[in-house]
Amino acid sequence: MVRGRISRLSVRDVRFPTSLGGHGADAMHTDPDYSAAYVVIETDAEDGIKGCGITFTLGKGTEVVVCAVNALAHHVLNKDLKDIVGDFRGFYRQLTSDGQLRWIGPEKGVVHLATAAVLNAVWDLWAKQEGKPVWKLLVDMDPRMLVSCIDFRYITDVLTEEDALEKQMLAQGYPAYTTSCAWLGYSDDTLKQLCAQALKDGWTRFKVKVGADLQDDMRRCQIIRDMIGPEKTLMMDANQRWDVPEAVEWMSKLAKFKPLWIEEPTSPDDILGHATISKALVPLGIGIATGEQCHNRVIFKQLLQAKALQFLQIDSCRLGSVNENLSVLLMAKKFEIPVCPHAGGVGLCELVQHLIIFDYISVSASLENRVCEYVDHLHEHFKYPVMIQRASYMPPKDPGYSTEMKEESVKKHQYPDGEVWKKLLPAQEN
Ligand SMILES: C[C@H](O)[C@@H](O)CC(=O)C(=O)O
Ligand SMILES: [Mg+2]
């Protein structure tokens, strides 16, 4: 039973100095410090249960997301949780359609990242109170209640509430792929060492970062293909580095390494550009994957309508939490496009596993061409870290959205006053 009135919302800027090890680097984001705006909401209920939510950032700018969370706080404070989840669509819309704040969105950028962090905390709180992991809360939910969480505004031309009520169920662990071996910040030796270890650990699908330098890409892709052999799956990720013709030309040269997909070949806003690239590369056996920087459900709708992608990558912290992701999962089902979520960062694996397990059980009922990203960084800072077995995500059992961070990790990494940053900042200033 949901209970309590939201009595407190706090938000902290938590940063991990991942750039020091080259972790997370790609052709456009060369020195990311994986970070999060970390939201905790409390209620006046006697159970003392807190809801924790994050959104993922790359270091600088997290303070801006923190400001945006604070600007949204008045929509959450003093609300009964029962009223929020009883009209979740209305609450979602209240956050995303604030008559003043929407000017600096709408439903995109910093204000949408902040919305995701707040709503992720609400979902965590709700699931903890129900004593279920979020995926199970969703699976068990009456379909009418489920669709009542979705804001169908702007997508009724492809998906209506009636369409959404026709989906079905099943259950299992979820196949994963690894990105951890081949960040652009890694030397060839590190790449080889991590790839050998990943093979030993049973990984069969690997993603490599490309796009900064063609000769470099050819060499690194050759190393990986030689190591994993012809049968295992290779994906490539350019992180928006190219113009449209450049993407086609570059990938035509990398086609010999047989990538399943090229991810984010160009600007995430260029729907027709993605369609052009897709038209050119699909005949070479290369699909287009995108979504980790897709603003909202409307852009996903248009990518689907334009046949601009073959693999759809939802992100648990960029869209408006579970609510908006539900609408995208249902649209992907309708267009028969497999969902292969973006994960990694700080906590993205922890969150998105709930969405993809729900997708499999309740929406797609298929594993064909479906795989969820896994990145082996920063899980030790979470109270309920992901569990990977035989290169698959095992369904989380703890109540909530797996969003809660260990308090000592938050304290240590809080920016700029945490122990880690107090040591690092004077060194970086010199
Ligand atoms: C900056 C991030 O590490 C980015 O490269 C992640 C990404 O594109 C992915 O995991 O995919
Ligand atoms: Mg990517």
pLDDT one-digit tens code per residue, 3-19? 999 999 999 999 999 99
Q: Which of 132, 209, 377, 379 is catalytic?
A: 209
Residue-wise pLDDT for 129-154, tens only, equals 999 999 999 999 988 999 999 999 99
Q: How far apart are CA 51 and CA 54, in angstroms?
A: 10
DSSP assignment string, 22-64: TTT--SS-SS---EEEEEEEEESSTT--EEEEEEEE-STTHHH
Q: Please give the backbone phi and psi of residue 160, each rounded to the nearest 5 degrees, phi first.
A: -115, 170
Across the chain, mean pLDDT equals 95
Asked if 112 is an active-site residue, the reply is no
- What is the distance in A from the centroid of ligand 2 to the CA of 182? 12
Give the pLDDT score at 173. Answer: 67
Tokens 């929020």, located at residue: 84
Determine whether the shortest distance from the Cβ of 179 to ligand 1 is under 6 A. yes
Q: Which of 342, 354, 379, 413 is catalytic?
A: 342
Which of 165-169, 228-232, 286-290 is least confident?
165-169
Which protein residue has the closest C-alpha to ligand 1 atom 6? 24
DSSP assignment string, 378-395: SGGGBSS---EETTEEPP
Determine whether the shortest distance from the Cβ of 24 to ligand 1 is under 6 A. yes
Q: How far apart are CA 384 and CA 387, in angstroms?
A: 9
**pLDDT above 90 as % of the chain:** 92
The answer on pLDDT for 403 being more than 80 is yes
Q: How far apart are CA 122 and CA 139, in angstroms?
A: 17
The answer on pLDDT for 170 being more than 70 is no
Asked if 29 is an active-site residue, the reply is no
Return the SS3 of 41. strand
User: For residue 240, what are its two tokens?
Assistant: 């928006």
Assign 166 a pLDDT band (cuts: 50, 70, 90). low
Determine whether the shortest distance from the Cβ of 32 to ligand 1 is under 6 A. yes
- What is the distance in A from the centroid of ligand 1 to the CA of 83? 37
Strands, sheet with 50-57, edge to edge from the N-terminal-most edge strand: 6-15, 35-43, 50-57
Give the pLDDT score at 349. Answer: 98
Q: What's the ipTM?
A: 0.99
Overall residue count recorded for the chain in this entry: 430
Tokens 């910040």, located at residue: 185
Ligand nearest 343 Cα, by number? 1
The answer on pLDDT for 195 being more than 70 is yes
Q: How far apart are CA 103 and CA 190, in angstroms?
A: 45
Q: How far apart are CA 293 and CA 268, in angstroms?
A: 6
Residue-wise pLDDT for 334-378, tens only, equals 999 999 999 999 999 999 999 999 998 889 988 999 999 999 999
- What is the distance in A from the centroid of ligand 1 to the CA of 26? 7
Which protein residue has the closest C-alpha to ligand 1 atom 11? 342
**pLDDT above 70 as % of the chain:** 97
- What is the distance in A from the centroid of ligand 1 to the CA of 344? 7
Give the pLDDT score at 430. Answer: 54
Query: Who has greater pLDDT, 99 or 168?
Result: 99
Assign 429 a pLDDT band (cuts: 50, 70, 90). low
